[in-house]
Structure 1
Amino acid sequence: MDKAQHNDIDPQTKDEESCDTQTDALPSLTTILGKKKVNGGKSKHHNFADKLLKYKMDYPNTSERGHVVIINNENFHWTTGMNSRKGTDADANNLSRLFNKLDFKVGVYRDQTTTDMMEIVKQMADKDHKDYDCFIMVLLSHGDDGKIYGTDGLVEIKKIVDSFRGESCPSLAGKPKIFLFQACRGTKHEVPIKPSGDTVDSADVVDSKKQNETVVDAAVKATIPSGSDFLFCYSVAEGFYSHRDTLYGSWYVQAFVEVFEEELINKGKDNAEKMDVLDLLTLVNYKVSLRSVERTRNPDAIGKKQMPCFLSMLTKKLFLTPKK
Protein backbone atom coordinates (compact mmCIF):
# COMPACT_ATOMS: atom_id res chain seq x y z
CA MET A 1 0.00 0.00 0.00
CA ASP A 2 2.76 2.38 -1.01
CA LYS A 3 1.95 6.01 -1.47
CA ALA A 4 3.09 7.33 -4.83
CA GLN A 5 4.30 10.83 -5.52
CA HIS A 6 4.10 12.21 -9.06
CA ASN A 7 5.35 15.25 -10.90
CA ASP A 8 2.68 17.68 -12.06
CA ILE A 9 1.49 17.38 -15.64
CA ASP A 10 -0.52 20.28 -16.97
CA PRO A 11 -3.99 19.25 -18.15
CA GLN A 12 -4.62 19.32 -21.90
CA THR A 13 -7.90 20.13 -23.62
CA LYS A 14 -7.79 17.53 -26.20
CA ASP A 15 -13.18 8.42 -20.23
CA GLU A 16 -38.54 -3.11 -7.88
CA GLU A 17 -40.99 -4.58 -6.14
CA SER A 18 -44.36 -2.76 -6.25
CA CYS A 19 -46.15 -2.09 -2.99
CA ASP A 20 -48.82 0.12 -1.50
CA THR A 21 -47.40 2.88 0.65
CA GLN A 22 -48.74 5.63 2.82
CA THR A 23 -46.97 8.92 3.43
CA ASP A 24 -47.07 11.22 6.39
CA ALA A 25 -48.32 14.74 5.72
CA LEU A 26 -45.44 17.01 4.76
CA PRO A 27 -44.92 20.22 6.71
CA SER A 28 -45.62 23.38 4.75
CA LEU A 29 -42.87 25.75 3.67
CA THR A 30 -44.24 28.13 6.28
CA THR A 31 -43.51 25.57 8.98
CA ILE A 32 -40.04 24.87 7.61
CA LEU A 33 -38.96 28.42 6.77
CA GLY A 34 -41.07 30.47 9.14
CA LYS A 35 -42.92 33.69 8.35
CA LYS A 36 -41.63 37.16 7.79
CA LYS A 37 -43.66 40.19 8.80
CA VAL A 38 -43.75 42.82 6.07
CA ASN A 39 -46.01 45.64 4.89
CA GLY A 40 -47.81 46.53 8.09
CA GLY A 41 -47.75 43.12 9.69
CA LYS A 42 -48.83 41.00 6.71
CA SER A 43 -47.12 37.60 6.45
CA LYS A 44 -44.96 36.67 3.53
CA HIS A 45 -43.13 33.40 3.00
CA HIS A 46 -39.40 33.67 2.83
CA ASN A 47 -38.01 33.08 -0.64
CA PHE A 48 -36.99 29.42 -0.68
CA ALA A 49 -33.89 30.03 -2.79
CA ASP A 50 -32.73 32.68 -0.35
CA LYS A 51 -33.05 30.19 2.51
CA LEU A 52 -30.92 27.50 0.91
CA LEU A 53 -28.14 26.95 3.37
CA LYS A 54 -24.46 26.58 2.66
CA TYR A 55 -22.27 23.85 4.08
CA LYS A 56 -20.02 25.10 6.85
CA MET A 57 -16.57 25.27 5.27
CA ASP A 58 -14.63 26.99 8.05
CA TYR A 59 -14.03 24.27 10.61
CA PRO A 60 -11.10 24.82 13.04
CA ASN A 61 -8.38 23.44 10.75
CA THR A 62 -7.90 26.74 8.95
CA SER A 63 -5.07 25.58 6.68
CA GLU A 64 -6.56 22.36 5.25
CA ARG A 65 -10.08 21.78 4.01
CA GLY A 66 -10.02 18.00 4.38
CA HIS A 67 -8.60 14.75 3.06
CA VAL A 68 -8.54 13.73 -0.60
CA VAL A 69 -7.74 10.09 -1.35
CA ILE A 70 -6.80 9.24 -4.94
CA ILE A 71 -6.58 5.53 -5.76
CA ASN A 72 -4.83 5.29 -9.11
CA ASN A 73 -4.79 1.77 -10.56
CA GLU A 74 -2.92 1.39 -13.84
CA ASN A 75 -1.60 -2.20 -13.91
CA PHE A 76 -3.65 -5.30 -13.21
CA HIS A 77 -2.86 -8.96 -12.55
CA TRP A 78 -3.27 -11.08 -15.66
CA THR A 79 -6.02 -13.13 -13.99
CA THR A 80 -8.33 -10.09 -14.02
CA GLY A 81 -8.19 -9.85 -17.81
CA MET A 82 -7.90 -6.05 -17.50
CA ASN A 83 -5.60 -4.00 -19.73
CA SER A 84 -3.13 -1.46 -18.41
CA ARG A 85 -4.71 2.02 -18.05
CA LYS A 86 -2.08 4.11 -19.81
CA GLY A 87 -2.53 7.82 -19.17
CA THR A 88 -4.01 7.46 -15.68
CA ASP A 89 -0.91 8.98 -14.04
CA ALA A 90 -1.73 12.26 -15.80
CA ASP A 91 -5.17 12.17 -14.16
CA ALA A 92 -3.73 11.47 -10.71
CA ASN A 93 -1.11 14.22 -11.02
CA ASN A 94 -3.54 16.83 -12.30
CA LEU A 95 -6.14 16.07 -9.63
CA SER A 96 -3.46 16.11 -6.94
CA ARG A 97 -2.27 19.52 -8.08
CA LEU A 98 -5.83 20.89 -8.21
CA PHE A 99 -6.83 19.71 -4.75
CA ASN A 100 -3.58 20.95 -3.23
CA LYS A 101 -4.37 24.40 -4.63
CA LEU A 102 -7.82 24.15 -3.03
CA ASP A 103 -6.16 23.50 0.35
CA PHE A 104 -6.86 19.78 0.67
CA LYS A 105 -4.51 17.24 2.16
CA VAL A 106 -3.94 14.84 -0.75
CA GLY A 107 -2.83 11.22 -0.66
CA VAL A 108 -2.18 9.36 -3.93
CA TYR A 109 -2.07 5.56 -3.82
CA ARG A 110 -0.91 3.71 -6.92
CA ASP A 111 -1.73 0.16 -8.04
CA GLN A 112 -3.61 -0.99 -4.97
CA THR A 113 -4.89 -4.53 -4.43
CA THR A 114 -8.43 -5.08 -3.19
CA THR A 115 -7.08 -5.61 0.33
CA ASP A 116 -5.00 -2.44 0.11
CA MET A 117 -8.00 -0.42 -1.09
CA MET A 118 -10.21 -1.52 1.79
CA GLU A 119 -7.40 -0.86 4.26
CA ILE A 120 -7.14 2.72 2.95
CA VAL A 121 -10.93 3.06 3.25
CA LYS A 122 -10.84 1.78 6.84
CA GLN A 123 -8.01 4.12 7.80
CA MET A 124 -9.84 7.14 6.39
CA ALA A 125 -13.20 6.16 7.91
CA ASP A 126 -11.53 5.69 11.31
CA LYS A 127 -9.93 9.13 11.22
CA ASP A 128 -11.31 12.01 13.23
CA HIS A 129 -12.59 14.51 10.64
CA LYS A 130 -14.20 16.89 13.12
CA ASP A 131 -11.82 19.76 12.30
CA TYR A 132 -12.21 19.33 8.52
CA ASP A 133 -14.87 20.61 6.13
CA CYS A 134 -15.42 17.61 3.85
CA PHE A 135 -13.95 14.43 2.35
CA ILE A 136 -13.17 13.42 -1.24
CA MET A 137 -12.29 10.02 -2.70
CA VAL A 138 -11.23 9.55 -6.32
CA LEU A 139 -11.22 6.09 -7.92
CA LEU A 140 -9.24 5.79 -11.17
CA SER A 141 -9.57 2.22 -12.38
CA HIS A 142 -11.54 -0.29 -14.43
CA GLY A 143 -14.97 -1.29 -13.19
CA ASP A 144 -17.73 -3.87 -13.39
CA ASP A 145 -21.36 -4.10 -12.32
CA GLY A 146 -21.45 -2.26 -8.97
CA LYS A 147 -17.75 -2.85 -8.43
CA ILE A 148 -14.36 -1.21 -8.99
CA TYR A 149 -11.11 -3.03 -9.76
CA GLY A 150 -8.15 -3.35 -7.46
CA THR A 151 -5.06 -4.68 -9.18
CA ASP A 152 -6.05 -8.25 -8.30
CA GLY A 153 -9.85 -8.25 -8.39
CA LEU A 154 -13.07 -6.41 -7.60
CA VAL A 155 -14.30 -4.36 -4.65
CA GLU A 156 -17.96 -3.46 -4.13
CA ILE A 157 -18.47 0.28 -4.51
CA LYS A 158 -21.30 0.20 -1.96
CA LYS A 159 -18.92 -1.32 0.60
CA ILE A 160 -16.48 1.55 0.07
CA VAL A 161 -19.09 4.29 0.24
CA ASP A 162 -21.01 2.83 3.18
CA SER A 163 -17.85 3.09 5.25
CA PHE A 164 -18.35 6.87 5.27
CA ARG A 165 -22.00 6.96 6.28
CA GLY A 166 -22.84 8.69 9.55
CA GLU A 167 -23.04 5.55 11.64
CA SER A 168 -19.66 4.32 10.38
CA CYS A 169 -17.82 7.65 10.30
CA PRO A 170 -19.62 9.99 12.73
CA SER A 171 -17.08 12.82 12.37
CA LEU A 172 -18.19 13.23 8.72
CA ALA A 173 -21.91 13.22 9.53
CA GLY A 174 -23.57 16.26 8.00
CA LYS A 175 -20.47 17.10 5.96
CA PRO A 176 -20.06 16.74 2.18
CA LYS A 177 -18.61 13.43 1.01
CA ILE A 178 -17.62 13.48 -2.66
CA PHE A 179 -16.79 10.39 -4.74
CA LEU A 180 -15.34 10.74 -8.23
CA PHE A 181 -15.30 7.70 -10.52
CA GLN A 182 -13.19 7.58 -13.68
CA ALA A 183 -14.22 4.30 -15.29
CA CYS A 184 -16.63 3.06 -17.92
CA ARG A 185 -20.22 2.24 -16.98
CA GLY A 186 -21.14 0.13 -19.98
CA THR A 187 -20.20 -0.99 -23.47
CA LYS A 188 -21.80 1.60 -25.76
CA HIS A 189 -20.48 4.79 -27.35
CA GLU A 190 -22.37 8.07 -27.28
CA VAL A 191 -23.13 9.04 -30.88
CA PRO A 192 -23.00 12.65 -32.10
CA ILE A 193 -26.16 14.52 -33.03
CA LYS A 194 -26.65 18.03 -34.36
CA PRO A 195 -28.37 20.29 -31.83
CA SER A 196 -31.58 21.91 -33.00
CA GLY A 197 -31.26 25.68 -33.35
CA ASP A 198 -27.98 25.70 -31.47
CA THR A 199 -24.32 25.55 -32.29
CA VAL A 200 -21.46 24.01 -30.38
CA ASP A 201 -17.76 24.59 -30.48
CA SER A 202 -15.77 21.99 -32.36
CA ALA A 203 -13.63 19.59 -30.37
CA ASP A 204 -10.00 20.51 -29.90
CA VAL A 205 -7.60 19.16 -32.49
CA VAL A 206 -5.16 16.53 -31.27
CA ASP A 207 -1.50 17.29 -31.93
CA SER A 208 -0.53 14.77 -34.60
CA LYS A 209 3.09 14.79 -33.37
CA LYS A 210 2.05 13.33 -30.04
CA GLN A 211 1.76 9.56 -29.93
CA ASN A 212 -1.55 9.54 -28.17
CA GLU A 213 -4.78 7.68 -28.79
CA THR A 214 -8.18 7.41 -27.18
CA VAL A 215 -8.98 4.20 -25.29
CA VAL A 216 -11.77 3.19 -22.92
CA ASP A 217 -11.91 1.97 -19.34
CA ALA A 218 -13.78 -1.21 -18.51
CA ALA A 219 -17.34 -0.70 -17.32
CA VAL A 220 -18.60 0.19 -13.87
CA LYS A 221 -22.26 0.30 -12.90
CA ALA A 222 -22.26 1.96 -9.51
CA THR A 223 -24.64 0.92 -6.77
CA ILE A 224 -25.73 4.10 -5.04
CA PRO A 225 -26.15 3.88 -1.27
CA SER A 226 -28.83 5.82 0.53
CA GLY A 227 -27.91 8.68 2.80
CA SER A 228 -27.54 12.43 2.71
CA ASP A 229 -24.55 14.68 2.04
CA PHE A 230 -23.05 12.45 -0.65
CA LEU A 231 -22.10 13.61 -4.13
CA PHE A 232 -21.23 11.08 -6.83
CA CYS A 233 -19.37 12.30 -9.92
CA TYR A 234 -19.22 9.92 -12.88
CA SER A 235 -17.02 10.27 -15.92
CA VAL A 236 -19.85 8.89 -18.07
CA ALA A 237 -23.55 8.06 -17.88
CA GLU A 238 -24.53 4.49 -17.11
CA GLY A 239 -24.25 2.11 -20.05
CA PHE A 240 -21.52 3.95 -21.94
CA TYR A 241 -17.78 4.02 -22.50
CA SER A 242 -15.54 6.50 -20.74
CA HIS A 243 -12.67 7.79 -22.90
CA ARG A 244 -9.08 8.14 -21.76
CA ASP A 245 -6.26 9.73 -23.74
CA THR A 246 -3.12 7.62 -23.32
CA LEU A 247 -0.93 10.73 -23.12
CA TYR A 248 -3.03 13.43 -21.44
CA GLY A 249 -5.39 11.38 -19.28
CA SER A 250 -9.14 10.93 -19.34
CA TRP A 251 -11.47 13.43 -21.00
CA TYR A 252 -13.45 13.78 -17.78
CA VAL A 253 -10.54 14.50 -15.46
CA GLN A 254 -9.02 16.93 -17.97
CA ALA A 255 -12.29 18.90 -18.03
CA PHE A 256 -12.82 18.61 -14.27
CA VAL A 257 -9.39 20.07 -13.49
CA GLU A 258 -9.64 22.81 -16.12
CA VAL A 259 -13.09 23.99 -14.96
CA PHE A 260 -12.32 23.91 -11.22
CA GLU A 261 -8.96 25.66 -11.66
CA GLU A 262 -10.39 28.34 -13.92
CA GLU A 263 -13.52 29.11 -11.90
CA LEU A 264 -12.20 28.69 -8.35
CA ILE A 265 -8.58 29.81 -8.65
CA ASN A 266 -7.78 31.75 -11.82
CA LYS A 267 -10.88 33.99 -11.69
CA GLY A 268 -10.38 34.85 -8.03
CA LYS A 269 -12.30 34.56 -4.80
CA ASP A 270 -15.29 36.68 -5.87
CA ASN A 271 -16.09 34.27 -8.70
CA ALA A 272 -15.41 31.22 -6.52
CA GLU A 273 -18.00 32.46 -4.03
CA LYS A 274 -20.65 32.52 -6.76
CA MET A 275 -20.01 29.05 -8.24
CA ASP A 276 -21.17 26.12 -6.18
CA VAL A 277 -19.93 22.62 -6.96
CA LEU A 278 -23.05 21.60 -8.91
CA ASP A 279 -22.61 24.63 -11.18
CA LEU A 280 -19.01 23.58 -11.79
CA LEU A 281 -19.96 19.97 -12.55
CA THR A 282 -22.51 21.17 -15.09
CA LEU A 283 -19.73 23.10 -16.84
CA VAL A 284 -17.60 19.95 -16.78
CA ASN A 285 -20.44 18.01 -18.43
CA TYR A 286 -20.72 20.64 -21.14
CA LYS A 287 -16.97 20.72 -21.78
CA VAL A 288 -16.74 16.94 -22.17
CA SER A 289 -19.83 16.88 -24.40
CA LEU A 290 -17.99 19.01 -26.98
CA ARG A 291 -15.31 16.39 -27.57
CA SER A 292 -15.28 13.44 -29.94
CA VAL A 293 -12.89 10.57 -30.60
CA GLU A 294 -10.26 11.54 -33.18
CA ARG A 295 -7.41 9.08 -32.78
CA THR A 296 -7.92 5.43 -31.82
CA ARG A 297 -7.11 1.91 -32.95
CA ASN A 298 -10.83 1.18 -33.21
CA PRO A 299 -12.16 2.82 -36.41
CA ASP A 300 -15.75 2.31 -35.25
CA ALA A 301 -15.08 4.69 -32.35
CA ILE A 302 -14.05 7.65 -34.51
CA GLY A 303 -16.39 10.60 -33.92
CA LYS A 304 -18.02 9.05 -30.85
CA LYS A 305 -18.89 11.20 -27.84
CA GLN A 306 -19.05 11.01 -24.04
CA MET A 307 -21.54 12.41 -21.52
CA PRO A 308 -20.60 12.60 -17.83
CA CYS A 309 -23.16 12.83 -15.04
CA PHE A 310 -23.43 13.42 -11.32
CA LEU A 311 -25.85 12.40 -8.61
CA SER A 312 -26.29 14.74 -5.67
CA MET A 313 -27.61 13.90 -2.23
CA LEU A 314 -26.30 17.18 -0.87
CA THR A 315 -28.72 19.09 1.32
CA LYS A 316 -27.01 22.48 1.09
CA LYS A 317 -24.99 24.50 -1.38
CA LEU A 318 -21.32 23.52 -1.50
CA PHE A 319 -18.63 26.10 -2.21
CA LEU A 320 -14.91 25.27 -2.42
CA THR A 321 -13.51 28.77 -2.09
CA PRO A 322 -9.78 28.41 -1.26
CA LYS A 323 -9.25 28.80 2.49
CA LYS A 324 -5.84 30.47 2.36
Structure 2
Amino acid sequence: MHPAQDQQHVNHNIKETRSGKKTIEVSESAFLSPDYDENCTKRGLAVLVQNFDQQCADIENLKLNGQFNKLMELLESYEYGFEVFEKDGKQIHKNLSKDDLYTLCSSVAKEIDKNEYNYYYCLLFVILGHGSTGIIRCKTDTGNTEYAELSKITELFQPQNCAALALKPKVFIVQTMEPKDPNQADASGMPDDVKERKQQRIPRESDFLTYTSDEPCYLSDNKFLNSLVKTLEEDQNTWYTNRGINPIPVTEIQSLLIKINRKLKETGSKVAYTTSSLTRKMYLQKRTF
Protein backbone atom coordinates (compact mmCIF):
# COMPACT_ATOMS: atom_id res chain seq x y z
CA MET A 1 0.00 0.00 0.00
CA HIS A 2 1.30 3.44 -0.91
CA PRO A 3 1.44 5.91 1.98
CA ALA A 4 -1.08 8.15 0.26
CA GLN A 5 -3.65 5.35 0.40
CA ASP A 6 -3.42 5.38 4.18
CA GLN A 7 -4.61 8.97 4.47
CA GLN A 8 -7.99 7.87 5.84
CA HIS A 9 -6.31 6.80 9.08
CA VAL A 10 -4.64 10.14 9.74
CA ASN A 11 -6.39 11.91 12.62
CA HIS A 12 -4.02 14.80 13.15
CA ASN A 13 -2.38 17.50 11.05
CA ILE A 14 1.23 18.62 10.92
CA LYS A 15 1.93 22.28 10.20
CA GLU A 16 5.21 24.06 9.69
CA THR A 17 5.89 27.43 11.31
CA ARG A 18 7.77 30.28 9.68
CA SER A 19 10.90 29.27 11.56
CA GLY A 20 10.73 25.79 10.01
CA LYS A 21 9.59 24.04 13.16
CA LYS A 22 6.71 21.62 12.80
CA THR A 23 3.71 21.58 15.10
CA ILE A 24 1.11 18.87 15.37
CA GLU A 25 -2.61 19.18 15.95
CA VAL A 26 -3.90 16.01 17.55
CA SER A 27 -7.53 15.01 17.73
CA GLU A 28 -8.98 14.40 21.19
CA SER A 29 -9.74 10.77 20.36
CA ALA A 30 -6.12 10.12 19.36
CA PHE A 31 -4.78 11.96 22.39
CA LEU A 32 -6.90 9.97 24.84
CA SER A 33 -6.76 6.60 23.05
CA PRO A 34 -5.69 3.74 25.37
CA ASP A 35 -3.57 2.15 22.64
CA TYR A 36 -1.08 3.30 20.06
CA ASP A 37 -2.72 3.63 16.66
CA GLU A 38 -2.33 0.36 14.75
CA ASN A 39 -3.66 1.71 11.45
CA CYS A 40 -0.36 2.25 9.67
CA THR A 41 0.99 1.06 6.35
CA LYS A 42 4.26 -0.12 7.89
CA ARG A 43 4.82 -1.63 11.30
CA GLY A 44 7.79 0.64 11.83
CA LEU A 45 11.18 1.90 10.78
CA ALA A 46 14.14 -0.03 12.21
CA VAL A 47 17.67 1.38 12.42
CA LEU A 48 20.62 -0.93 13.12
CA VAL A 49 23.98 0.43 14.30
CA GLN A 50 27.03 -1.74 15.04
CA ASN A 51 29.71 0.44 16.58
CA PHE A 52 32.19 -2.12 17.88
CA ASP A 53 35.88 -1.35 17.57
CA GLN A 54 37.05 -3.49 14.67
CA GLN A 55 40.55 -3.58 16.16
CA CYS A 56 39.22 -5.49 19.17
CA ALA A 57 40.69 -8.98 19.32
CA ASP A 58 38.46 -11.75 17.93
CA ILE A 59 35.71 -9.32 16.99
CA GLU A 60 34.87 -11.41 13.93
CA ASN A 61 34.32 -14.47 16.14
CA LEU A 62 31.27 -12.78 17.59
CA LYS A 63 29.49 -13.35 14.25
CA LEU A 64 27.77 -10.00 14.55
CA ASN A 65 27.04 -9.66 10.85
CA GLY A 66 25.13 -12.93 10.75
CA GLN A 67 23.19 -12.07 13.89
CA PHE A 68 22.27 -8.62 12.63
CA ASN A 69 21.15 -10.08 9.30
CA LYS A 70 18.97 -12.54 11.19
CA LEU A 71 17.55 -9.66 13.22
CA MET A 72 16.64 -7.85 9.99
CA GLU A 73 14.92 -10.96 8.65
CA LEU A 74 12.87 -11.34 11.81
CA LEU A 75 11.79 -7.69 11.84
CA GLU A 76 10.83 -7.79 8.18
CA SER A 77 8.80 -10.98 8.73
CA TYR A 78 6.21 -9.26 10.93
CA GLU A 79 2.84 -8.49 9.38
CA TYR A 80 3.19 -5.04 7.82
CA GLY A 81 6.89 -5.64 8.41
CA PHE A 82 9.50 -3.27 9.71
CA GLU A 83 11.35 -1.30 7.07
CA VAL A 84 15.09 -1.24 7.74
CA PHE A 85 16.53 2.23 7.20
CA GLU A 86 19.13 2.33 4.44
CA LYS A 87 21.71 5.06 3.91
CA ASP A 88 24.39 5.05 1.20
CA GLY A 89 23.41 1.47 0.34
CA LYS A 90 23.95 0.24 3.91
CA GLN A 91 21.35 -1.28 6.20
CA ILE A 92 23.79 -2.02 9.01
CA HIS A 93 25.70 1.12 9.94
CA LYS A 94 29.15 0.30 11.30
CA ASN A 95 31.99 2.07 13.07
CA LEU A 96 30.44 5.53 13.01
CA SER A 97 32.15 8.60 14.38
CA LYS A 98 30.18 10.72 16.83
CA ASP A 99 29.25 13.19 14.09
CA ASP A 100 28.33 10.35 11.71
CA LEU A 101 26.07 8.76 14.32
CA TYR A 102 24.30 12.04 15.03
CA THR A 103 23.98 12.69 11.30
CA LEU A 104 22.47 9.24 10.76
CA CYS A 105 19.92 9.82 13.51
CA SER A 106 19.06 13.25 12.10
CA SER A 107 18.57 11.70 8.65
CA VAL A 108 16.21 9.09 10.08
CA ALA A 109 14.16 11.75 11.87
CA LYS A 110 13.92 13.84 8.70
CA GLU A 111 13.01 10.79 6.60
CA ILE A 112 10.13 9.98 8.96
CA ASP A 113 9.03 13.58 9.38
CA LYS A 114 8.88 14.43 5.70
CA ASN A 115 6.29 11.72 5.08
CA GLU A 116 3.02 13.58 4.85
CA TYR A 117 0.90 10.62 5.92
CA ASN A 118 2.91 9.39 8.92
CA TYR A 119 2.50 5.75 8.00
CA TYR A 120 5.02 4.26 10.44
CA TYR A 121 3.60 2.75 13.62
CA CYS A 122 6.84 3.08 15.58
CA LEU A 123 10.59 3.62 15.55
CA LEU A 124 12.94 0.83 16.62
CA PHE A 125 16.58 1.81 17.12
CA VAL A 126 19.18 -0.89 17.89
CA ILE A 127 22.70 0.23 18.83
CA LEU A 128 25.43 -2.24 19.77
CA GLY A 129 28.88 -1.03 20.72
CA HIS A 130 31.34 -0.09 23.41
CA GLY A 131 30.83 2.58 26.04
CA SER A 132 28.82 2.73 29.24
CA THR A 133 25.33 3.66 30.38
CA GLY A 134 23.99 6.50 28.25
CA ILE A 135 27.08 6.95 26.05
CA ILE A 136 28.38 5.20 22.92
CA ARG A 137 32.08 5.15 22.20
CA CYS A 138 33.01 6.40 18.73
CA LYS A 139 36.36 6.35 16.99
CA THR A 140 37.72 9.38 15.16
CA ASP A 141 39.94 9.51 12.07
CA THR A 142 42.85 10.57 14.30
CA GLY A 143 42.54 7.46 16.44
CA ASN A 144 41.20 9.37 19.42
CA THR A 145 37.99 8.39 21.16
CA GLU A 146 34.78 10.41 21.38
CA TYR A 147 31.45 9.60 22.95
CA ALA A 148 27.95 10.10 21.57
CA GLU A 149 25.19 10.72 24.10
CA LEU A 150 22.04 8.63 23.95
CA SER A 151 20.03 11.56 25.32
CA LYS A 152 21.02 13.68 22.30
CA ILE A 153 19.97 10.87 19.98
CA THR A 154 16.55 10.43 21.56
CA GLU A 155 16.04 14.20 21.56
CA LEU A 156 16.03 14.15 17.76
CA PHE A 157 12.84 12.08 17.85
CA GLN A 158 10.92 14.14 20.37
CA PRO A 159 7.67 15.69 19.03
CA GLN A 160 9.17 19.16 18.58
CA ASN A 161 11.88 17.69 16.32
CA CYS A 162 9.99 14.82 14.67
CA ALA A 163 6.29 15.60 14.70
CA ALA A 164 5.42 12.49 12.67
CA LEU A 165 6.39 10.30 15.64
CA ALA A 166 4.21 12.16 18.13
CA LEU A 167 2.00 9.71 20.07
CA LYS A 168 3.92 6.79 18.55
CA PRO A 169 6.22 4.40 20.43
CA LYS A 170 9.94 5.01 20.12
CA VAL A 171 11.98 2.02 21.28
CA PHE A 172 15.76 2.18 21.80
CA ILE A 173 17.57 -1.10 22.40
CA VAL A 174 21.14 -0.21 23.33
CA GLN A 175 24.06 -2.36 24.44
CA THR A 176 27.25 -0.55 25.47
CA MET A 177 30.06 -2.40 27.19
CA GLU A 178 33.80 -2.44 27.50
CA PRO A 179 35.66 -4.92 25.27
CA LYS A 180 36.26 -8.37 26.67
CA ASP A 181 37.97 -11.39 25.19
CA PRO A 182 35.03 -13.55 24.03
CA ASN A 183 37.16 -16.65 24.44
CA GLN A 184 37.87 -16.00 28.11
CA ALA A 185 36.52 -18.84 30.24
CA ASP A 186 35.29 -17.24 33.45
CA ALA A 187 34.89 -20.52 35.28
CA SER A 188 37.97 -22.34 34.03
CA GLY A 189 39.88 -24.17 36.70
CA MET A 190 37.12 -23.79 39.29
CA PRO A 191 35.61 -26.73 41.19
CA ASP A 192 32.18 -27.83 39.95
CA ASP A 193 30.35 -26.50 43.00
CA VAL A 194 31.93 -23.06 42.54
CA LYS A 195 30.97 -23.06 38.86
CA GLU A 196 27.38 -23.84 39.79
CA ARG A 197 27.27 -20.99 42.30
CA LYS A 198 28.71 -18.64 39.69
CA GLN A 199 25.98 -19.57 37.22
CA GLN A 200 23.37 -18.67 39.80
CA ARG A 201 24.88 -15.30 40.69
CA ILE A 202 22.36 -12.49 40.60
CA PRO A 203 23.53 -9.45 38.61
CA ARG A 204 23.61 -6.43 40.88
CA GLU A 205 21.97 -4.25 38.21
CA SER A 206 18.90 -6.46 37.86
CA ASP A 207 15.40 -6.16 39.28
CA PHE A 208 15.22 -2.39 39.71
CA LEU A 209 12.49 -0.11 38.43
CA THR A 210 12.59 3.65 38.83
CA TYR A 211 9.63 5.89 38.05
CA THR A 212 10.51 9.55 38.46
CA SER A 213 8.60 12.78 38.00
CA ASP A 214 9.56 16.42 38.34
CA GLU A 215 5.94 17.61 38.22
CA PRO A 216 5.63 20.64 40.57
CA CYS A 217 3.95 19.81 43.87
CA TYR A 218 1.43 22.31 45.18
CA LEU A 219 -0.01 21.85 48.66
CA SER A 220 -3.54 22.13 47.35
CA ASP A 221 -3.12 19.89 44.30
CA ASN A 222 -0.41 17.25 43.88
CA LYS A 223 -1.38 15.95 40.44
CA PHE A 224 1.27 13.22 40.45
CA LEU A 225 0.13 11.75 43.77
CA ASN A 226 -3.52 12.18 42.82
CA SER A 227 -2.96 10.25 39.60
CA LEU A 228 -1.19 7.45 41.45
CA VAL A 229 -3.98 7.11 44.04
CA LYS A 230 -6.81 7.37 41.53
CA THR A 231 -5.28 4.77 39.23
CA LEU A 232 -4.83 2.29 42.09
CA GLU A 233 -8.40 2.88 43.26
CA GLU A 234 -9.80 2.29 39.77
CA ASP A 235 -7.78 -0.89 39.29
CA GLN A 236 -8.83 -2.31 42.64
CA ASN A 237 -12.49 -1.49 42.01
CA THR A 238 -12.29 -3.17 38.61
CA TRP A 239 -10.72 -6.28 40.10
CA TYR A 240 -13.21 -6.62 42.94
CA THR A 241 -16.09 -6.13 40.52
CA ASN A 242 -14.86 -8.75 38.05
CA ARG A 243 -13.01 -11.30 40.18
CA GLY A 244 -15.97 -13.72 40.24
CA ILE A 245 -16.06 -13.68 36.46
CA ASN A 246 -12.43 -13.24 35.53
CA PRO A 247 -10.03 -13.77 38.48
CA ILE A 248 -6.96 -11.95 37.18
CA PRO A 249 -4.24 -10.10 39.08
CA VAL A 250 -5.41 -6.61 39.97
CA THR A 251 -2.31 -4.75 38.87
CA GLU A 252 0.89 -5.58 37.01
CA ILE A 253 3.36 -2.82 37.86
CA GLN A 254 4.39 -1.73 34.37
CA SER A 255 0.77 -1.70 33.21
CA LEU A 256 0.01 0.44 36.23
CA LEU A 257 2.68 2.96 35.29
CA ILE A 258 1.23 3.29 31.79
CA LYS A 259 -2.18 4.02 33.32
CA ILE A 260 -0.68 6.63 35.68
CA ASN A 261 1.08 8.27 32.72
CA ARG A 262 -2.25 8.46 30.94
CA LYS A 263 -3.83 10.12 33.99
CA LEU A 264 -1.00 12.64 34.08
CA LYS A 265 -1.40 13.35 30.38
CA GLU A 266 -5.13 13.92 30.78
CA THR A 267 -4.47 16.53 33.49
CA GLY A 268 -1.83 18.32 31.43
CA SER A 269 0.93 17.21 33.79
CA LYS A 270 4.42 16.03 32.95
CA VAL A 271 4.66 12.33 32.14
CA ALA A 272 6.99 10.54 34.54
CA TYR A 273 10.11 8.64 33.44
CA THR A 274 10.47 4.87 33.78
CA THR A 275 13.76 3.01 33.91
CA SER A 276 13.41 -0.71 34.41
CA SER A 277 15.72 -3.68 34.80
CA LEU A 278 12.99 -6.00 36.05
CA THR A 279 13.47 -9.59 34.94
CA ARG A 280 9.88 -10.72 35.39
CA LYS A 281 6.36 -9.44 35.91
CA MET A 282 5.51 -7.88 39.26
CA TYR A 283 1.98 -7.92 40.65
CA LEU A 284 0.62 -5.72 43.42
CA GLN A 285 -2.26 -8.16 44.03
CA LYS A 286 -1.70 -11.84 44.78
CA ARG A 287 -2.89 -13.83 41.83
CA THR A 288 -5.83 -16.17 42.38
CA PHE A 289 -6.97 -18.68 39.79
> Scaled by the length of structure 1, what TM-score is found?
0.40
**Larger relative contact order (C-alpha < 8 A, sep ≥ 6)?**
1
Q: Which has the larger radius of gyration?
A: 2
> Scaled by the length of structure 2, what TM-score is found?
0.45
Structure showing the higher helix proportion among its residues: 2
